[in-house]
Amino acid sequence: MSPRVHSLILCNAFVDTTVFRQTSSAPAFWMMPALVLKKMVMGNFERGLVDADIADSIDFMVESLDQLGQQELASRLTLNCMNSYVEPQSLEGIDVTVIDVYDNCAISQAVKEEVYKCYPHARRAHLKTGGDFPYLSRADEVNVYIQIHLQQSSHTRYSARNPTEEVPSATMEGDTQFPDVPPGAAAAAALAPHKEVTI
């Protein structure tokens, strides 16, 4: 178990940087103009017809990208694309929730399957739609999954709650009740290891 990480929530994740096919060019990113680097990133964004929330999430990310300078963007892309992979044995004993989407996104199904293999005991949470940035376009649904994930640590020193806050309790049937969450969503998202849940 890692001394610094108690749990992980992975959203549209990958475990091997070779999926981006940029490992050979990554060492040269520091020399490339910001415009070239931004085009590399934006080339992966969804260009077809999408719903308003997904379109807004893409617009937000494009605006955020425009605010990055060349050095910061180059360093982030280098970190993202240098030849590297996750060593899951370093994360044994850590609670993991994997959130992904069923619609089009930059992460292929093969890449998702590799994530599932790397974290065989992870809880899986699926969204029917959400695009590349479901934490922006489907924030309410993702927040339900985050609350459920954090519930695992609610009675430990790792709890994300204020010590004076009341911790929601689970019912006899195992459905966790959360404040400000629709009861149907909480029941549907009662994640268990190896259980796949879709909202």
- What is the DSSP annotation of 20-44? GS-TTTGGGGGGS-HHHHHHHHHTT
Local confidence band at 116 (pLDDT 50, 70, 90 cut-offs): very high
Same domain, 72 and 94: no
Same domain, 94 and 174: yes
Q: What is the mean pLDDT of residues 114-133?
A: 92
What is the SS3 assignment for 3? coil
Domain that holds residue 74: 18-81
Query: In this predicted structure, what is the pLDDT of residue 174?
Result: 37
pTM: 0.72
How does pLDDT run across 77-88, given as a tens digit for each residue? 888 888 888 887
Same domain, 128 and 143: yes
Domain membership flag for residue 2 = no
- Of 36, 55, 81, the last residue of a domain is 81
Q: From CA 55, how far away is CA 45, in angstroms rounded?
A: 10
CB distance 175 to 187 below 8 Å: yes
Residue 166 DSSP one-character state: P
Give the orientation angle of helix 34-42 with respect to helix 52-66, to 10 degrees: 160
Query: In this predicted structure, what is the pLDDT of residue 134?
Result: 94
Six-digit token string for 72: 């910061």
Beta bridge partners of 101: 127
Burial of 144: CB neighbours in 10 Å, binned 0-12, 13-18, 19+: buried
Same domain, 146 and 169: yes
Domain membership flag for residue 1 = no
Q: What is the mean pLDDT of residues 40-63?
A: 85
CB distance 96 to 122 below 8 Å: yes
Report the number of distinct structural domains present in the chain: 2
Q: Say which residues have a Cβ less than 8 Å from residue 133's Cβ, sequence separation at least 6.
A: 12, 54, 57, 58, 60, 61
Domain membership flag for residue 119 = yes
How does pLDDT run across 136-153, given as a tens digit for each residue? 999 999 999 999 999 888
Give the orientation angle of helix 70-81 with respect to helix 34-42, to 10 degrees: 50
What is the SS3 assignment for 127? strand
The larger pLDDT score, comparing residue 167 to residue 140, is at: 140
Q: What is the mean pLDDT of residues 53-82?
A: 90
The sheet that has 196-198: what strands, in order across it? 7-11, 95-101, 123-127, 196-198
Q: What is the mean pLDDT of residues 171-197?
A: 42
